[in-house]
Chains A and B, each alone.
Chain A
Amino acid sequence: MLKTVYLSIFTTLLLGLSGLVHSESQTPEERGLEIALKVREANDGFIGETSDMQMVLIDAYGVETVREMSGMTLEVTGDGDRSLMTFQSPADVQGTKMLTWSRREGSDDQWLYLPALRRVRRISSSNRMSSFMGSEFSFEDLGSQEVERYDFKYLKDAEIEDEAVYVVERRPKDRSGYSKMIMYISKEKLSPLRVEYFDRREEMLKIATFRNFKQYQIEKTGKSTWRSNEIHMLNIQNEKQSLFRWNDRKLGQELRERDFTQQALN
């Protein structure tokens, strides 16, 4: 799921890179959507991905708490991806698994496996505003970011740390914890470098900064794609921060479809 989230954000940013083909006849909305689709296209074709993930929660006093997970994502042609996240720490949730079948349209299908009860619980994916593991990331930030779920609007070209970016506004079509997101998408990497989140009162709530980019080569397709391996999320209203890191990330992995099914959870 985290990978999907990242991918969505990355895709959105990547969209900005296509500014060179900007047409004067396009409306800002049409261009925004065009950039979003380019980001998605640039990030498609990864086949399968595995990684170990680490979440660092930093409170207003700088005290750090670490959460660990492992994740797998299976790319699905023509629909949203399927992802499986297994929680490794803290110890009381070790072994808990979350399976998500993302949908380009409509609600995702989502299951939670609770090892203490041996129970696979169907959960609603429409509640995306909840904090993820007590961090400054919400499920919405890390979950499915399908292009079809948002309205886009190109704002301008800009630079972030000497890197040319498209600045694109994204507004959720469905119920969301945000009124809008302003995305700074690298023209080179077709991935977001920065995302500003605005609450429902249109006040800035959080800023996500994407770091540690690495270019991955997919052997099977010969395609290369960029991935950020660290996202820093700063909540400017409560001054808390969170870091999301990917370690040992592998793309182009041939994964078994069965591992992304409800019956494989226990």
Chain B
Amino acid sequence: MQKVVFIFTSLFFFLLPTSSYAVGALFQQEVSHTSRGEVRFESRHFLKDDNLETEDAGVGLFSRLETRTSWGDFDLNFSGYGRVDHKDESRSFATLEDAYLSYRYGSAFEYGLKLGYQVFNWSVMDAFYPIDRINSRNFDSSPEQLEKMGELTVEFNMDVWDGDFSLYYFPSFQGPRLPSSSNRFGSGFNLYSARVVESDGVKSSRGADQFGLRLYQFIGGADIEFHYLNHIDRFNPIVGYHEFSEVPLVGIIPDNSDIIRPYFYRVQQSGLSLQKAFGPTVFKFEGLYRWYAESDEKVLIAPNSIVQNSEFSNGPKDHGEIAFGLDYTYGLFSGHDLNILLEYSTLLGLNRRERQETSIFQNDLFFGLRYSFNDINSKEILMTSIFDLERSEEFLLGLKYSQRLAEVWGIDLGLQWFNASGVEEGRQVGAGLDSLKNDQYFFLNITRYF
């Protein structure tokens, strides 16, 4: 299947410029075409975990191609990426990011339509981005910046006052890409295809009516955005079984214990973001509330499915989430920049255990330093750290160095260090940052741009 996707996308990449030029010629309009791409050699090495089932090293080849063709008031955008991993075949795949046609019209081009796959980014934060929930992610990519997968979208946009207003319809659900059992970021078992839980039951179909709206305004020098989403959640699945039976003297057991699935629930999300510069400091805020569809369907939570005290779930708990921070840039007289990043994020309306089960970051403080040399090779050093204010044992450290090489090459190398206690109140935690415990790794990426 992956090969089919890859071949399809490659053909699409190849044919896109030709077809768009043909369309331009058909309508006798001037056509402009731009493209860019990259091929990246990726290497990552985890500290050994004494588990023969998991791969402690990854060597892969990542490629991305982007094209944009414009004629008249139309734009055709395409972007996709793929990865082939030499060590862990489960990491190999290809996916679309953007593949949409856009059209603007009106006397001042105040109206717009977009049709096709899109990647969105509504976040204003650098470390925590609670608002940025539309696209499914590849959870086997860098935890600091998870790769996104395109979302099939119909979008209507219009300029309103000092900003714009957008309506969205998302007709299908594509679940996130979850790591396999051999992956160090994985949960230890292979997951079958995702299921969607609506108020009227569990569904296997990918079709799902989802909606959204967004209002952006520039007021008093601040970027202010309000949004509402009614869609299938992509971040907080309940992993387990929804088909199970009660066996006398044994307890509740799944009908087929091999088939473990992620169950994603319909959620409504409403919130706002704000960012404004005050001199050398940019203030950023994101706040929202999520409420999940109620369902009578219970999911037997894996992997505790065979023991007497099996746990069930009716879905994630309703909750709020806020994040805010500062981005301060200090310009040195040498022409270098020192960028200081400080962010805080917390979940609201949940108890301590629910918070941990809901997100990796429940009550966390982020501190980062970026030193930019602003030289011909764009040398940069980035240090990041995230500390859990509830559990002092939990923290994440990152260090990265990057620079351009010979104009068309780039290199970045660094490490990620996770720390967690693994045990709380006498029980294994297995959630939050603890799910990444002992997954420290070093990485080296070399990229050729074209």
A122-B124, A134-B375 are contacts. A90–B407 as well, Cβ < 8 Å?
yes
Chain B residues within an 8 Å CB radius of A119: 121, 123
- Contacting pair B223 A122 (CB below 8 A): yes
Check B307 for interface membership: any CB of A closer than 8 A: no
Contact of A57 among B159, B335, B376, B410 (CB under 8 A): B376
Check B378 for interface membership: any CB of A closer than 8 A: yes
The stretch from A4-12, A29-37, A257-265 touching chain B is A257-265
- Contacting pair A65 B376 (CB below 8 A): yes
A123 to chain B, nearest CB (A): 7
The stretch from B190-198, B278-286, B289-297, B360-368 touching chain A is B278-286
Report the nearest A residue to B159, measured CB to CB: A258
Report the nearest B residue to A88, measured CB to CB: B34
CA of A125 to CA of B331, assembled, Å: 11
Residue from the set B66, B280, B331 with the largest chain A CB neighbour count within 10 Å: B331
Chain A, 122-144, CB within 8 A of any chain B CB: 122-132, 134, 138
- Contacting pair A122 B216 (CB below 8 A): no
Check A161 for interface membership: any CB of B closer than 8 A: no
Count of A-B contacts judged by CB separation below 8 Å: 109
Check B408 for interface membership: any CB of A closer than 8 A: yes
Q: Give the size category of B's interface with A.
A: 35 or more
B320 to chain A, nearest CB (A): 24
- Contacting pair B333 A138 (CB below 8 A): no
CA of A195 to CA of B450, assembled, Å: 37
Q: Interface digits, A82-115 against B, CB 8 Å rule (1 contact, 0 not)?
A: 0000000011111100000000000101100001
A65-B407, A91-B36, A123-B277 are contacts. A128–B376 as well, Cβ < 8 Å?
no
Chain A residues within an 8 Å CB radius of B279: 107, 124, 126
- Contacting pair A126 B280 (CB below 8 A): yes
Check A177 for interface membership: any CB of B closer than 8 A: yes
Report the nearest B residue to A114, measured CB to CB: B121
Chain A residues within an 8 Å CB radius of B124: 121-122
- Contacting pair B375 A258 (CB below 8 A): no
A57-B376, A122-B124, A122-B282 are contacts. A90–B404 as well, Cβ < 8 Å?
yes
A260 to chain B, nearest CB (A): 12
Check B337 for interface membership: any CB of A closer than 8 A: yes
Check B248 for interface membership: any CB of A closer than 8 A: no
Q: Interface digits, A235-266 against B, CB 8 Å rule (1 contact, 0 not)?
A: 00000000000000000000011100111000
- Contacting pair B376 A117 (CB below 8 A): no
Check B377 for interface membership: any CB of A closer than 8 A: yes
Chain A residues within an 8 Å CB radius of B284: 122
- Contacting pair A129 B333 (CB below 8 A): yes
Contact of B36 among A95, A122, A127, A131 (CB under 8 A): A95
CA of A128 to CA of B332, assembled, Å: 10
Chain A residues within an 8 Å CB radius of B376: 57, 59, 65, 134
- Contacting pair B277 A122 (CB below 8 A): yes
A139 to chain B, nearest CB (A): 9
Q: Interface digits, B113-128 against A, CB 8 Å rule (1 contact, 0 not)?
A: 0000001110110000
Chain B, 371-415, CB within 8 A of any chain A CB: 372, 374-378, 404, 407-408, 410
Report the nearest B residue to A140, measured CB to CB: B331
- Contacting pair B282 A124 (CB below 8 A): yes
Report the nearest B residue to A94, measured CB to CB: B36
CA of A254 to CA of B281, assembled, Å: 35
Residue from the set B327, B332, B333, B447 with the largest chain A CB neighbour count within 10 Å: B333
Check B345 for interface membership: any CB of A closer than 8 A: no
Chain B residues within an 8 Å CB radius of A123: 277, 282, 329
A65-B407, A91-B408 are contacts. A262–B216 as well, Cβ < 8 Å?
yes
B294 to chain A, nearest CB (A): 33
Check A220 for interface membership: any CB of B closer than 8 A: no
- Contacting pair B331 A92 (CB below 8 A): no
Report the nearest B residue to A177, measured CB to CB: B333
Chain A residues within an 8 Å CB radius of B216: 262-263
CA of A128 to CA of B120, assembled, Å: 30
- Contacting pair B277 A92 (CB below 8 A): no
Chain B residues within an 8 Å CB radius of A93: 378
A90-B408, A119-B123, A262-B216 are contacts. A199–B109 as well, Cβ < 8 Å?
no
Contact of A131 among B163, B375, B449 (CB under 8 A): B375
CA of A220 to CA of B398, assembled, Å: 56
Chain B residues within an 8 Å CB radius of A122: 124, 223, 275-277, 282, 284
Check A118 for interface membership: any CB of B closer than 8 A: yes
CA of A126 to CA of B281, assembled, Å: 9
Chain A residues within an 8 Å CB radius of B275: 122
Chain A residues within an 8 Å CB radius of B336: 130
A130 to chain B, nearest CB (A): 5
Chain B residues within an 8 Å CB radius of A91: 36, 38, 407-408, 449-450
CA of A199 to CA of B281, assembled, Å: 24
Chain A, 186-218, CB within 8 A of any chain B CB: 199-200
Task: Give A residues with C-beta under 8 Å from B.
Answer: 57, 59, 65, 90-95, 107, 109-110, 115, 117-119, 121-132, 134, 138, 177, 199-200, 256-258, 261-263
> What are 7 A-B contacts with C-beta separation under 8 Å?
A59-B376, A90-B408, A118-B120, A119-B123, A124-B282, A134-B374, A263-B163
Other than the known A95-B36, A122-B284, A177-B333, what 13 A-B pairs have Cβ atoms closer than 8 Å?
A90-B404, A91-B38, A91-B407, A91-B408, A92-B378, A118-B121, A122-B223, A127-B329, A129-B333, A130-B337, A134-B375, A134-B377, A263-B164
Q: Which A-B residue pairs are the 10 nearest by beta carbons?
A: A91-B449, A134-B376, A131-B335, A127-B331, A131-B374, A129-B331, A118-B121, A122-B275, A119-B121, A263-B164
